Amino acid sequence: MDNNEQALATNELSTLPLDHNWYQKLASNFEIIQQYLDKLDTDKLELDDLKNKFDDMSDKINIYETNMQAIVNILSDYDVPIAIVDGKIVETKEGE
């Protein structure tokens, strides 16, 4: 636990009388917990944003690969000796 983090008073609640001090400690617990809930919400938004970016990049890669394959197919129809090898367009020898 960092020096900046606050500790929950949960362990003390069973020994405290039910007075105003008890209420303040209980309210303090919820304030501490709320900070972590807010951070979780922020982290989830960041993860959702990263997932959306990843999905967008995956879509673009799929479109790129599809277009590259279409170009190779068209050129192959005109007997241009090329093929896709390891994700790259390479010149092939006749008959390969």
| Residues in contact with 90: Cβ distance below 8 Å, sequence separation at least 6, in sequence order | 82, 83, 84
Phi, psi of 84 (to 5 degrees): -100, 120
Mean pLDDT by 10-residue block, N- to C-terminus, for the chain (96 residues)?
60 62 80 87 89 94 90 83 80 69
pLDDT at 55: 94
Phi, psi of 59 (to 5 degrees): -60, -45
| Beta pairing partners, 55 | none
CB 55 within 8 A of CB 42: no
Residue 4 is encoded by which pair of tokens?
Answer: 């900046």
- Tell me the whole-structure pTM to 2 decimals: 0.49
pLDDT at 13: 55
Entry field: residues in the chain: 96
CB 89 within 8 A of CB 72: yes
